[in-house]
Structure 1
């Protein structure tokens, strides 16, 4: 039985016709049966679809924006295909379906459900274009709807994968095809047991690549980015940032959890569990080594600096002093699970607990309500966090000075974190 290989291409890699030609050349050079290509929406399509969703939910006209999005995709096609090519009809058909979905009043009763039914059109359209273009290059391949493969629960915007069913569907649908042809499919989307489209969270295509890799027992997963690999800091802030040649799964997982944007946070865990190496390589320089993430054990202890924005700090102070020291972590995590909060940090003293979460579209009252019986509650949104792993004396001194309006500090031998006002300087 063939052992598949998974490639993932993000929106930046297919943002226009020239970018897609570059990807075509990259893939053609590495063409092989057993190749699964997971593709995101082109360019800023997802952002534009979110704007269309917002207009539709507000009962406002979206004709202009929809036509502009269609023109964008047809312009890509005009740069790749002759005028009479069948891809134009396929793209037009996808946009007709998109319009009908946007106009479907029955879907709009639940805004988050409506979001899931609309937002994946970007991936459905881009993969049609990619598959047709690769065939034009003489690289015969098949288009596959990811909703026939990735099975999830019905949670909106952040569905949980049913791994057993997904593995079953992936193997049944893909192994016979991959013996003869590579396959192009979508990131980000799946389907629930009722047949409704679900989504895996923004930037979830990396996670889809990991799902495919694990489900098919892939030899490796490669994420093609516009960077040379994984660096120890944002190159826009740190021009002298160092690229990792290799990185252990644990170190990479911690980096993504604390806010490093190179890889989606959910990507690492399933690959680590199954021992499937993850390569991060540049589509601009595909022959360069990039970074490989795997089971390397103790890697070199290079300082890693990560900035994460749009955070909310919830401060809980105990009302009943007889309950001091109980900490009530169980309550906090029960609330976080129910409210779908992503906790970044928890710090506790005898009478006080600080909980840092990703910003949520919630009022102060909504944040405080679950805790009012036990705690006095304050919250502060719009905060930023600096995380430094493997810090040296220089990092400890420098960033402590940068974080002028400090709300919280967590200090350990291998990790320091500072939470401060968003407006504070970065470096």
Structure 2
């Protein structure tokens, strides 16, 4: 069985949805499971609904805008009397009803119930469209299959229960389902982290013992750098699981960090291909004697540099580091880079949930702290250390770290 993942850009409008069918014509749709993201920028639009809802402003008009944009896409795909129009409208009615009845002040809980609507709607539209044109498939609610704990916005997968659920699917059929979402024990929606649809596809691939998994992007495959941010980048045709995991860890946006682990455990080949040119080979991630180790460039923006030091000039010891990391875990602030000296600790942090000021407030009760916001972290994998100077050109370096042909520089 094959697992395909289509992101938001690949289903952003009616023509894009039709293009998904063209991609499937080149690949074959027999024994295939499709994992679909929300259409275009729908997730961002639903986050705006969340913002207005918690500010007690007019979120209804924002929901109406999203509804109308989806109905417009639907008009470009179906006859006027098709049942999909009522189904799309019902999704938005359910969203309005949830927000009307909700009494929970837990932002993360409400976020997951609201933002997950994007995937539910896009997958239903795609499933119905494919059925109409002859690509027979069953629509699945991913929340019935992927089970998690109640860590809203960062769900931790219950692999035993999830594998038991997914393994019951017939492998002679084709399916369309959602990325990004699962559910906890009370069947409330839990998202798997922003951009988590790749991870969803990997979960299904692992549990189905898939022959291969492919994610379809608007780029030719995994490049030696984001072509929008770096010049003279090239396609990596073959890379190992280990190299892909390292690139994802350092922030390569083309691969979600959690995606590779379940695939590597069962040696499931992983492809990154272009939905614009689907017949081209793209990038293969897996075991191969053709795997490359080319110099590659990764940029993580909107980072925070935090310098922490002891007030009495004592060493930064294990108990200090434990306190600091427990606090970061509490607020779900992720470490992109760390470097310590005798009396100080420098951390480059990713503040996904906007909690860095709370972290700083608590830490400053025991330590001296200094924050620099909106910094960038450059990482060069497989760097040619003999030409190190080129990495520093036109950059104000705040922190640097070099290890095993990996160069990391924090700049502002």
How many Å apart are 1:379 and its aligned residue? 1.9
Mapping of residues 266-277 of structure 1, within 5 Å: 266-277=258-269
Q: Residue 122 and residue 343 in structure 1: after superposition, are their counterparts in 2 closer, same or farther (change >3 A)?
A: same
- Where does structure 1 differ by over 6 angstroms across 4 or more consecutive aligned residues? none
CA contact (8 A) 1:327 1:348 kept: no
Distance 1:161 1:328, change over 3 A: same
Q: Secondary structure of 2:111's partner?
A: helix
Structure 1 residues 326, 68: CA separation in 2 closer, same or farther (over 3 Å shift)?
A: closer
- Measured after TM superposition, the shift of residue 335 of structure 1 is 2.5
Q: With structure 1 as the length reference, what TM-score do the two structures score?
A: 0.92
How far off is 1:47 after superposition?
A: 0.5
Partner residue, 1:361 = 354
Unaligned 5+ runs, structure 1: 422-427
State the Cα RMSD in Å: 1.8
Alpha-carbon distance between aligned partners in 2 of 1:299 and 1:371, rounded to the nearest angstrom? 47
- Relative to 1, partners in 2 of residues 1:70 and 1:122: Cα closer, same or farther, differing over 3 Å? same
Q: How does 1:25-424 map to 2 (within 5 A)?
A: 25-107=22-104, 109-172=105-168, 174-175=169-170, 178-179=171-172, 181-296=173-288, 299-323=291-315, 328-359=320-351, 360-362=353-355, 364=357, 366-370=359-363, 372-373=365-366, 375-393=367-385, 396-404=388-396, 406-421=397-412
Change in 2 beyond 3 A, CA 1:189/1:305: same
Deviation, structure 1 residue 213: 0.6
**Residues 213-237 of structure 1 deviation map (CA, whole Å, 9 limit, x = unaligned):** 1111111110000110000011123
Q: Tell which deviates more after alignment, 225-234 or 362-371.
A: 362-371
Which residues of structure 2 form unaligned runs of 5+? none
Determine if contact 1:327/1:350 at 8 Å carries over to the other structure: no
Look up the match of 1:425. Answer: none
3-state DSSP of counterpart to 1:222: strand
Quickly say closer, same or farther: Cα 1:281–1:72, change in 2 above 3 A: same
Kindly provide the CA deviation profile for residues 10-29 of structure 1, in whole angstroms up to 9, marking residues without a partner as x: 00001111111111122134
Query: How far 1:322 moved relative to its partner?
Result: 4.8
Say if 1:377 and 1:184 are closer, same or farther in 2 by CA, change over 3 A: same
- Offset of 1:319 from its aligned partner? 2.9
Inter-partner Cα distance in structure 1 for 2:324 and 2:232: 40
Q: 1:399 to 1:159 in 2, by over 3 A?
A: same
How big is the shift at 1:412?
2.7
Give the 3 Å change call, closer, same or farther, for CA 363–11 of structure 1 in structure 2: closer
Q: How far does residue 86 in structure 1 lie from its aligned partner after superposition?
A: 1.1
